[in-house]
Structure 1
Amino acid sequence: MSYIAMVVDASYPNDIRVRKEAESLVNSGNKVVVICPHKKNDDKIENINGVNIFRIGTNYSNSKKGLHDIFESIFNINLLFFFGIKKAMKQYSIEYLHIHDLPLAGTGYLFKSKVKKLILDMHENYPEALKTWFLWKKNPIIKLKNFIFMNPILWSYKERKYCKKYDTIICVVAEMKQKLITNFNINPTKLVVISNFEKKEFASNFLNSVAQNIINPKDFSITYVGGFGPHRGIDTAIKAMPQIVAKIPNATLFLIGKGSFAVETKLKEITREYKVERNVKFVGYRPFNEVSTIMQESSINIIPHKSNEHTDNTIPHKLFQIMMSKSLLLVSSCKPLKRIVEKYDCGVVFKADDINDFTDKVLMIHQKDNLLNYKKHNAFDAVMNQGENWEEESLKLHSLYTYI
């Protein structure tokens, strides 16, 4: 039996989207090999839940990735992955090549004649993401490198080029599909939306509370969970805290997660500037079983993303995780977030990047907490019973490999 080869420039099984797709395909009777970089202490070859892992290179690091990214931006080829895919093809009978995200599209396309079908899985609007990811970088050398090699105009050209060349394009949200049709005139028949929904079984994480010393029930807790970045809108929440604390003295913003040195430095500068050091807690990473309890015990869970061409064309896994937690959800007006929350009336929406509206919505939630409990139940019902789950969404992935 031939293999589906998934190629990803990230650790496996850490990448949630790749793991869910690979395991779903294996569970539906396919053979899957994931080609990904080897990091220190990783096994070169491994099998995890039926998925074959073929790790390439040696002790992959951020500096090595940076060099490969520069070479790839110039020549449309990542040499590590080019030779890694060639090596994998000698070991496995690969029939389909499933490339994850735009940076590896050029490398994957070089194997078009070797496989039956080429699939490009677009996790996000990559060119637009480049406009936001590096906004808070201060190192002039890094800024120059990003301007030359990670230029959004260059990557938009690559996006158009490879979306036209690949056989099938997977989009993470309907907004991304429409963007490719409108901007690049991509044939709609080769576009399929497979979103970042969670498995129903994920809800079991919220059945048993564990000990945690982050959330104090005496506080009005406003909790953000996830990676830190300029596009995440965490700065909006921090800047709103003086107004919020003036009306809710026990309000505290908890930031669960991490970001780059530049991002964390910027956020801490904003915290000091707005004099809310006592009301903003940089918690760092916590084990997920603890995070699930933190979500449930928080007064509000927030996804305050700024609205731009990047965030309006992707969606975070944590939206559906929070919906499963039966906790109150406050999201920005990014198109996919707003669409889902309003469709199911399962949370509150504030105007993205608007400090005053964020404040108003938090104060309203504080005043009407008990009256909003129905939104928590709507959220849980949407993911468990209304099709907003991976069990339903993965059927489109299975069909893709059944009929192409």
Structure 2
Amino acid sequence: MHILMILEGEYKDDIRVRREAEGLVSKGHSVHVVCSRGSQSQQHESLNSVQITRIGTDSKLTWYLSKGVYLTTWYDPIWLRELHNLLHDDDYDFIYFHDVHHAKLAIRLAKWHNLRTIADLHEIYSFAVDVWQEDYSYKQKLKPGIFLRPAWRFRRMEEYVVTYTDGLVTVSEEILDYYLNKYNKRDLPAKVVRNVPDLDRLDNMPVEPLGYEDEFIISYIGGFSPQKGLEIPIKAMSLIKEKIPQVKLVLVGDGQDEYVQSLHQTALKEGVVDTVEFVGWVDFERVASFYNVSDLTIVPFVDDPESQRALPNKLFQSMAFETPVLSSNLMTMKRILNETEAGITFEHSPESFAETVVRLYNEPSQRCLMGKNGRRAVEQKYNIKKEIDNITQLFDCIEPN
């Protein structure tokens, strides 16, 4: 199969998309990724046999005009021109697009060029937008990119995607059930492709000494946003420190400046500045070092409709590194942890978080067993080599035009 894959962001930064593209290449398919071009990015590149074309413009006026059209119509004129030229110059079998940003454009181009489409929806965007916009100030809500894209527009776009795409991929069974039931498309060819790791890559990462040998390390590794619920573990640290004096919460990642500053303020207000370390963003190749020193990894997402169905990469990544997982009591993650016995959940409060951490601290053999269970589950089931088979099976279900 010759596949044109469409992605809104930068390809190199999206671990899920990279794993899928490289996994499809390993199965003998040809993959050409089209993504956004930053100011320092090459327009054309080949990475691990995946062809990459980046779309953008150096003209600020053209960029603003293009974004204005996109915000009101979901069609970006620059992307429309470049993608149309690519499809005209080469023969593709499928357009495989990620999320809803360029979904309308992808489906329209597929009709023009008589191609099939597969939509890979990483989350339920309309739910996520509801959560994100709750924390915006009135000034932020008036920005065109936010004001012109309320949650109801994302809901309409999700309905459009599920109605008109030829195949659907989601990251969890719960998200897939939501889309198929919500829009009455139970007959749509669909597969779950989870956010699971490439074990070969993780196992070959270097491990550097970080100097936490005498401390009990609770770590969070990933992006920072209100949906991630990082206030809860920060507020719990004073309670935990009473029972575990050598405890440290290590937060590896970054996010919007305002939110990160609010987390610093929470640590200051709670009197736990010396117990909470903000590492900042690190290159992906360094994450093995942080998992190596972690006694627990946490996924403290808030309880909302999107998070209830979320299945983040960090869950399986922790399991791959034999680190026990402590997650919020959310539907999908709880199902995975119960199935694999790789961790446990807590109710979303500082008191419950603290109580659960202290209990696990006092049960080192249980933590060790959880780590081994997680690693075994990733080796046997939750790895990208297994998940790529689901995509190839979906291709087999859909006849190319």
Q: CA deviation at 1:236?
A: 0.9
Q: CA deviation at 1:123?
A: 0.8
Check the 8 A contact 2:202/2:288 in 1, yes or no: no
Pair 1:396 & 2:390 matched: yes
Pair 1:383 & 2:382 matched: no
Q: Partner of 1:158 in structure 2?
A: 157
Q: How far apart, in 2, do the equivalents of 1:68 and 1:379 lie?
A: 46
Q: How far apart, in 2, do the equivalents of 1:197 and 1:65 lie?
A: 35
Corresponding residue SS for 1:240: helix
Pair 1:243 & 2:242 matched: no
Corresponding residue SS for 1:227: coil
Offset from partner CA, 1:299-348 (integer Å, 9 cap, x none):
21111111211122332112111111112221112222111111011112
Aligned residues: 396
Corresponding residue SS for 1:107: helix
Q: CA RMSD in A?
A: 2.2
Q: Partner of 1:347 in structure 2?
A: 343
Q: Partner of 2:291 in structure 1?
A: 295
Spell out the pairing of 1:3-402 with structure 2 (5 A cutoff): 3-58=2-57, 71-113=69-111, 114-138=113-137, 140-145=138-143, 148-205=147-204, 209-213=207-211, 216-351=212-347, 353-385=348-380, 387-402=381-396
Judge which range, 278-287 or 373-382, deviates more.
Answer: 278-287
Corresponding residue SS for 1:302: strand
Structure 1's consecutive aligned runs of 4 or more residues displaced over 4 angstroms after TM superposition are 63-70
If the length of structure 1 is used for normalisation, what is the TM-score? 0.92
2:183 partner letter: F
Q: How far apart, in 2, do the equivalents of 1:297 and 1:196 lie?
A: 23
Corresponding residue SS for 2:254: coil
Check the 8 A contact 2:326/2:343 in 1, yes or no: yes
Gaps of 5+ in 1: none
Over 3 Å counting, the alpha-carbon distance change for 1:104 and 1:289 in structure 2 is closer
1:304 partner letter: P
Judge which range, 50-59 or 4-13, deviates more.
Answer: 50-59
Over 3 Å counting, the alpha-carbon distance change for 1:75 and 1:235 in structure 2 is same
Offset from partner CA, 1:122-172 (integer Å, 9 cap, x none):
01111111122344333x332223653231122112211221111111111
If the length of structure 2 is used for normalisation, what is the TM-score? 0.92
Gaps of 5+ in 2: none
Q: How far apart, in 2, do the equivalents of 1:50 and 1:262 lie?
A: 39
Check the 8 A contact 1:137/1:263 in 2, yes or no: no
1:196 partner letter: N
Q: CA deviation at 1:107?
A: 1.3
Percent sequence identity over aligned pairs: 25
2:104 partner letter: G
Q: How far apart, in 1, do the equivalents of 2:243 and 2:284 lie?
A: 32
Check the 8 A contact 2:189/2:397 in 1, yes or no: no
Check the 8 A contact 1:38/1:60 in 2, yes or no: no
Check the 8 A contact 2:190/2:394 in 1, yes or no: no
Q: How far apart, in 2, do the equivalents of 1:170 and 1:65 lie?
A: 31
Corresponding residue SS for 1:40: coil
Q: CA deviation at 1:64?
A: 9.2
Check the 8 A contact 1:121/1:170 in 2, yes or no: yes
Q: CA deviation at 1:380?
A: 0.5
